[in-house]
Chain A
Amino acid sequence: MTSLARSARWDRFYLPALAGVLFLLAWHLLVAWTATKVFPSPLEVERAIAELIRKSLLWSYIGDSLRRVAVGFGAAAILGIPIGLMLGWYPTANQVVNPVFQLLRPISPIAWIPIAILLFGVGDPSANFLIFLGAFFPIVVTSVNGVSNVPSVFRQAGRNFGLSPLLLLAKVIFPAALPQMIVGLRIALGIAWLVMVAAEMVAVNSGLGYLVIDSRNAGKRYDLVVAAILLIGLIGLALDVCFRKLETIRSVRWGFRHSA
């Protein structure tokens, strides 16, 4: 192994691991040093997670949160991508609906909570709807941009070979816009994961977001609160890492910078 490869491995693996250990150590020392009665130490959090496993709540809560994100994000992708493609394809239609979209886009989905509960009551559909709202707009907007950024050379080449408009959309516009759409989906998934926490705090009684608020309300169990926070962070990171793998698929790799 060359020294260059060795130092690359250090940078990518050992150094971040070391930073993680140092963080846990600092956390532990700070809790011990301040003698706080409220904030848990890393070991207490570890015991809290063990308690969740014992009560067989851990996997069911994680499962519930993931399912809601999958439903809300999935619906946003299934609706958002075709709508984005169409709006990008027909700029006039885009001009008509764009003001409404731009108005709705900056509204935090959390503001919709009362309306969601009014429409769907307390339960899964409300949470799914809020997550859907958070993911839908970024997917549509990046899809529209993806289509309008397709170089005219590709459109002309497609038309030159005699493709019908529908085939042109399927065989040229969609694959040409796909890398940008993947970026939009990744952003949307991150937002969906954020909105999930807020939605579960008010609309349902299971899941990681519910765990945060329930642990606080029922007995001020801050060890469980921090355990839930850590899990939310770790799973969110894992989702993002998995999603980034899509960027290395060969038919979209050309659209990303790390392509070589």
Chain B
Amino acid sequence: MSLMEASLPSTALATKLRAENVSMTFERDGNITAVLENINLEVVRGEFICLLGPSGCGKSTLLSIMAGFLSPTGGQVQIDGETVRGPDPRRIFVFQERGVFPWLTVEGNIGFGLFKMPRSERDRLIAHYIRMVGLQGFEKAYPLELSGGMKQRLEVARALAVNPDMLFLDEPFGALDSITRLTLRRELLRIWEAERKTIIFVTHDIDEAVQLADRVVVLTARPARVQSVVSIDIPHPRDISSRSYLDFRDGIFKQIGLAHQV
């Protein structure tokens, strides 16, 4: 029996995350604001999903619910078949670069989640992830001495060091200049292809979504509903001047109701 189960291909396409009728309302000064309305979504293991929507539509709220920082007022999120009840080191939330700890060095930040490990193992992992995100030479530096892009890479390294099977990224490159942003997208894809984590990535940037995602989940303005799910079946590395790339991009532009001319 166990052999049979092991040989089933189900693991390859297993559902990693399932959002069922997730709704969220906030109450403030007696006014009830609906932020999310009946979100249904299924994410496959190892998939790269972009949640795309206008600013303030509630996509960050959805991400916080998936990560367990917020409880939805309706519906539920299941990960690996279990209802999410709180944050978990198996799934790490990457904030904009604000999330790095300014009182710790680069080494200290990357080793932060490894507090249960013996020293030698921890040092080995720290060195590995410093190399992976290209922060060699800055091991003893404090975040204050790093650029925005370096801080963002540091936060990704800190998340990867605990070997999570999911990453939640909340507009991680939003505060960076466009050149750094492109470089970091490429690095994130390289890391994703090497380690095959399931990634949920929130963005309001259509190009970013089409460059990165296996599937783009387009959300409506508040209260957010799933407007459409677009599968981007272009292999990486993606040529951002190719016909198919532009077609996907234009399609999403149209769905959101934006014209091409500025």
Contact = CB atoms under 8 A, between A and B. Distances in A.
Contacts of A259: 144
Nearest to A155: B69
A161 B101 contact: no
A156 interface: yes
Counting chain A CB atoms within 10 Å of each CB, the highest count among B98, B101, B103 belongs to B103
B75 interface: no
13 contacts: A156-B69, A157-B93, A157-B101, A159-B87, A160-B67, A160-B88, A160-B92, A161-B92, A161-B112, A171-B115, A251-B103, A251-B142, A255-B102
Contacts of A24: none
Given A151-B98, A178-B103, A160 B142 contact: no
Contact of A162 (B88, B93, B101): B88
A151 B95 CA distance: 12
B117 to A, nearest CB: 12
Interface of B: 67, 69, 86-89, 92-93, 95, 98-99, 101-104, 112-113, 115, 142-144, 162
Contacts of A162: 88-89, 113
A245 interface: no
Nearest to A252: B103
B92 A172 contact: no
A101 interface: no
A162 B113 CA distance: 8
A250 B142 contact: yes
A255 B103 CA distance: 9
A252 B102 CA distance: 8
Contacts of A255: 102
A161 B113 contact: yes
Interface in A147-197: 151, 153-154, 156-157, 159-163, 167, 171-172, 175-176, 178
A154 B101 contact: yes
Q: State the main secondary structure of chain B at its contact with A.
A: loop
B87 A156 contact: yes
Nearest to A174: B103
A175 B101 contact: yes
A172 B101 CA distance: 8
Contacts, number: 58
Contact of B89 (A160, A167, A250): A160
B33 to A, nearest CB: 20
Contacts of A154: 99, 101
Nearest to B67: A160
A251 B193 CA distance: 35
Contacts of B69: 156, 159
A254 B98 contact: no
B95 A251 contact: no
A60 to B, nearest CB: 41
Contacts of B93: 156-157, 160
Contacts of A167: 115
Given A153-B98, A253-B144, A254-B144, A161 B89 contact: yes
A153 B100 CA distance: 9
Contacts of A260: 144
Contacts of B67: 160
Interface string A47-87: 00000000000000000000000000000000000000000
Counting chain B CB atoms within 10 Å of each CB, the highest count among A172, A254, A260 belongs to A254
Contacts of A171: 112, 115
Contacts of B102: 254-255
A254 B143 contact: yes
Contacts of B142: 250-251, 253-254
Given A154-B101, A160-B89, A250-B142, 17 more contacts: A151-B98, A156-B69, A156-B87, A156-B93, A157-B95, A161-B89, A161-B115, A161-B162, A162-B113, A163-B115, A171-B112, A171-B115, A172-B101, A175-B103, A253-B144, A255-B102, A259-B144
A259 B143 CA distance: 12
A220 to B, nearest CB: 54
B168 to A, nearest CB: 9
Contact of B104 (A151, A160, A161, A251): A251
A251 B101 CA distance: 10
Interface in A67-120: none
A167 B89 CA distance: 15
A202 B69 CA distance: 57
Counting chain A CB atoms within 10 Å of each CB, the highest count among B101, B104, B112, B143 belongs to B101
8 A-B pairs with least C-beta separation: A254-B102, A161-B113, A162-B89, A175-B103, A160-B87, A251-B103, A254-B144, A159-B87
B167 to A, nearest CB: 11
Given A160-B92, A162-B89, A250-B142, A153 B113 contact: no
Contacts of B112: 161, 171
